[in-house]
Amino acid sequence: MKQEKKFETESQQLLDLMINSIYSEKEIFLRELLSNASDAIDKYRYLSLTESDKYPTKSHQIRIDVDKKARTISVTDDGIGMSLEDMEKNLGTIAKSGSKEFMSKIKDAKEKDDLSIIGQFGVGFYSAFMVGDSVEVLSKTLGGEAHRFYSEGKSTYTIEDTEFDQDSGTKVIVHLKKDTDDLKYSDYLETYRIENLVKKYSDYIRYPIKMLVTVSKQDRDDEDKPVDGKYHDEIEDKTLNSMIPLWKKSVNDVKQEELDEFYKSKFMDYEKPLLSLNVHVEGLYTYEALLFIPSRVPSNLYSESYEQGLSLYSKGIFIQDHYKDLIPDYLRFVKGLVDSDDFPLNVSREMLQKTPEMAKIAKNIENKIIAELKKTKKNDEEKYLKFFDMFGEHIKYGIYSSYGMKKEELQDLLLFHHLNDEKLISLEDYVKNMKKGQKDIYFATGKTLDEIKTLPQLESKKKDGVDVLLLDKNIDEFCIMAMVEYDKKTFKDVSSEKDEVSKEKKEELDRLASENKRILDNIKEGLSGKVDDVVFSAKLVDSPVCITTKDGISMNAERVINEEPGQKENLKSTKVLEINPDHELFKALADVSSDEQIKDYGSVLYDEAMLLQGYDIEDKAEFVKKLNSLLIKAAKA
Ligand code: ADP
């Protein structure tokens, strides 16, 4: 029975784009069909290992056939095949994430007219419509019925029963478009063209891609000796690809461009990777891995649709994609594959997760990535800054989420903004530049760099030229807390109440406090419930007050934690109002006789400090009322 169906809207749009693609991009259709064929065989092979009673092992191949008269080029595989439902689901809708990404890029108005980037995406099966005015797909699953999909790339396709002379597999037949004055589609019927395309894009496919080719052979005489000058044509079933997966080739034989191309096609990125590692390890355990760090943040990295993990191969056989246990969470942006003879093949996926080899290889991979990042940081600053800008927070997360256990490995990958310079600084350099006698590593936190830089509690540090790390990312403070110290130097928050002051300074502040007890007590009383203490400060130069916190969580941590979705209990920091004894405002305050008025001053100063430090005033009406009453008094005086 023949059924006519409509493509889903998005597929329709993609098809339209394919049909209008520019000529130079069209050739990738063969790459896409061959990689689908190879995937289908991978799936079959996996089943023949796990369900060997149902799926007999066979030696697979992919065939390319051309028919010059009929102007068709077809790709046939003996892989898993598709059932009727598979055909509808897989060919009637956009399956490939690469296609989806391409669609969203192209919808972006700016790029509407520029389809030249098509070739950089894995646009999949629909790419056949770049060169074909109609496409047929014959397919059959093992023990199932054969079906024929047919479409002219318009809004509909048909599916009907058919005959297909194979146990299982798929044949995609592309009916090439007519040649025009400048578009020679018939080129794709030429052996040399196909051979070149296979070498260029699909050489590493691990199954033989075969094609019948006509070769000119020298005639031989009765004694099997070549006859000079006499040739005849012979048909040869030629394997067009080398079949050696890139990662099985010796490291020196693999060019950077090959790694780049491999990354782009396997991981559907149109940009080459920022970093690539070709790892071959032999010894206690043996494995090969190709690991890549993308040169842009994957668009869905922070959404649930992002599938983290590496592709897993055993003895060159594909087992599964997105294998999570091979890469720690904090390196979730790393893409790649691992192949090891040590992974037992004929076990269930669940068992595989538990092998000790797997854990060791995973640790080794993590170490390789860290080592490569350290190397890059040392040798290629620009590249490392690009990396850190995109993925630096993941490194911090690695320290935080391991409760500091990964500190030793990761701390020297960190970079921070800091007070004394625009450029990011490493902890190592911070420590090198510390002032004589400086014991701690100072840091200041807040929502934005601009906000942090204006914190009053930085004033004395600025005056003394002491550098301070400026932590503007939510994860920063938590990472630092998990580290506790670096190079035996403690991290110290400039917004914490405790201060490193000289003995003389301390005595002076104590004396001031006892002399001005009435003022401090009144302010404290006025701010009861808001601050735990009111003290004189050594942190301030130009500002009258600042708010700091006692041991326990900082105001910044309080903000970050309470912003966290699902955070129920409202965590509170213990605040202290610190007063600058040298400030005019305080000196003026000393002359105010009314206790109530001092309380009002204290309250307004507190709210001002909150504002300046990037926080909201709790009771805005109260603030305005108090401020106005003080203004009136000042105006009258
Ligand atoms: P992708 O291969 O990325 O999923 P495609 O648009 O190329 O995207 O193909 C869609 C789906 O169609 C595939 O996921 C696969 O399930 C199915 N498919 C395509 N070609 C074949 C094939 N040769 N054999 C079996 N299934 C196929």
Q: Give residue limits of the domains in the chain.
A: 3-239, 246-379, 392-494, 498-637
CA of 114 to the centre of ligand 1 (A): 26
Average pLDDT over residues 43-52: 90
pLDDT in tens, 120-169: 555 688 889 989 999 999 999 999 999 999 999 888 999 999 999 999 99
What is the structure's pLDDT at 106? 65
Residue owning the nearest CA to atom 1 of ligand 1: 96
Q: How far is the CA of 36 from the centre of ligand 1 (A)?
A: 5
266 lines ligand 1 (CB under 6 A): no
Ligand 1 centroid to Cα of residue 90, in Å, is 6
425 Cβ closer than 6 Å to some ligand 1 atom: no
Task: Choose the CATH number for 3-239 among 3.10.150.10, 3.40.710.10, 3.30.565.10, 1.10.3210.10.
Answer: 3.30.565.10
pLDDT on residue 64: 98
Chain centre distance of CA 471: 22
In the reported structure, the alpha carbon of residue 472 is separated from the centroid of ligand 1 by a whole-number distance in angstroms of 45
Q: What is the mean pLDDT of the chain?
A: 89
Q: In what order do the strands lie in the sheet with 287-293?
A: 275-281, 287-293, 335-339, 310-314, 317-323
Please answer whether residues 501 and 544 qualify as being in contact, where contact means their C-beta atoms are separated by less than 8 angstroms: no
For 350-395, the pLDDT digits (tens) are 555 567 888 899 999 999 999 999 999 999 999 999 999 999 999 9
More reliable by pLDDT, 389 or 228: 389
Q: Which amino acid is at 200?
A: K
Contact 415, 375 (CB under 8 A): no
Q: What confidence score (pLDDT) does residue 565 get?
A: 82
Burial (0-12, 13-18, 19+ Cβ within 10 Å), 68: exposed
Architecture per CATH, 392-494: 3-Layer(aba) Sandwich (3.40)
6-10, 276-280, 565-569: least confidently modelled range: 565-569
123 lines ligand 1 (CB under 6 A): no
Q: How distant, in Å, are the alpha carbons of 77, 82, 95, 171, 472 from that of 36?
A: 9, 12, 12, 11, 45
pLDDT value of position 352:
57
Mutational test site, ligand 1, from 78, 125, 126, 147, max ligand atoms within 8 Å of CB: 125
> Which helix (DSSP H) or strand (DSSP E) does residue 219 occupy?
strand 209-220
Please give the CATH superfamily to which domain 498-637 belongs. Heat shock protein 90, C-terminal domain (1.20.120.790)
- Ligand 1 centre to CA of 184 (Å) is 27
> What pTM value is reported for the model?
0.71
Pick the CATH number of 246-379 from 3.30.230.80, 3.40.50.720, 3.40.190.10, 3.20.20.140: 3.30.230.80
